[in-house]
Amino acid sequence: GDSVTQTEGQVTVSESKSLIINCTYSATSIAYPNLFWYVRYPGEGLQLLLKVITAGQKGSSRGFEATYNKETTSFHLQKASVQESDSAVYYCALSPLNYGGSGNKLIFGTGTLLSVKP
Amino acid sequence: NSKVIQTPRYLVKGQGQKAKMRCIPEKGHPVVFWYQQNKNNEFKFLINFQNQEVLQQIDMTEKRFSAECPSNSPCSLEIQSSEAGDSALYLCASSLGRGQDTQYFGPGTRLLVL
């Protein structure tokens, strides 16, 4: 079946340093799933950070970027300079969207807790 | 920010008791999803609806869980006879459907089964 893997359960980075959170996916139900990063800030609900629906494209939001790489089946999240306010849990997800359909479930990784040290 | 509303935020039940939680999707979103997130941060899709109709559901949901999204009322997810393994965060999400698959999540209902 379809799956998402985030290898790091926790990452600690000093403020103003660069960040990369790894995400790889396996999609057996569809060749090119839609890919997402969701974020949960402390005390808040899960919210969409960015999404990319076309292989080869890059999505960006709040200084974060992720590129849909179909060759390596990866969707790593990067930021050039993190801030303390970026401390949160980041979830990579895929949706095996059937074009024109609705109601496709999301398949999530287990999340990466980012702690930014001042 | 998402406007999906979930109640209650916390729910404590004994084994064998019913546990019911509710969700009001974002206005204008016809598609509603329920997910379970366990203590290992693993997400499990449970069921989804378009308007009042079930689109997909997993076996577990068919057997011990019941869910509905009646017209003009909150959606609900009910566990008929709670088990310790049901302790988890239950997340409701909604989307526009029609190929727009971004899902917007509520804050969740945290269920503890003693």
Contacts of B106 in chain A (CB under 8 A): 45
B40/A103 Cβ within 8 A:
no
DSSP for B20-34, please give it.
Answer: EEEEEPPTT--EEEE
Q: What is the pLDDT of residue A100?
A: 47
Q: What is the pLDDT of residue B38?
A: 96
- B51 and B69 Cβ atoms separated by less than 8 Å: yes
Average pLDDT score over chain A:
92
Chain A nearest CA to B76, separation (Å): 17
- A116 and A106 Cβ atoms separated by less than 8 Å: no
A45 vs A48: CA distance, rounded Å: 10
B41/A47 Cβ within 8 A:
no
Whether A44 has its CB under 8 Å from any CB of chain B: the answer is yes
A110/B101 Cβ within 8 A:
no
What are the pLDDT digits (tens) for B7-26?
Answer: 999 999 999 999 999 999 99
B4 vs B25: CA distance, rounded Å: 5
Interface of B with A in 4-33 (CB under 8 A): 4, 30-31, 33
Number of Cβ atoms within 10 Å of the Cβ of A83: 13
pLDDT higher than threshold 80 for residue B36: yes
Give the single-character DSSP code of A28. S
A46/B91 Cβ within 8 A:
yes
Would you state the torsion angle of the CA atoms of residues B86, B57, A93, A54, taken in this order, to the nearest 10 degrees? 180
Phi, psi (degrees; rounded to nearest 5) at A83: -120, 160
A103/B33 Cβ within 8 A:
yes
Contacts of A95 in chain B (CB under 8 A): 101
A3 vs A95: CA distance, rounded Å: 10
Whether A111 has its CB under 8 Å from any CB of chain B: the answer is yes
B102/A106 Cβ within 8 A:
no
B48/A103 Cβ within 8 A:
yes
What are the pLDDT digits (tens) for B53-97?
Answer: 988 888 876 688 999 999 889 999 999 999 999 999 999 999 988
Letter string b/e over residues B15-43, b meaning 16 or more CB atoms within 10 A of that residue's CB: eeeebebbbbbbeebbbbbbbbbeeebeb
Q: What is the pLDDT of residue A101?
A: 53
Q: Residue B58: closest CA among chain A residues belongs to which residue?
A: A105
Low-confidence ranges of chain A (pLDDT < 50): 99-100
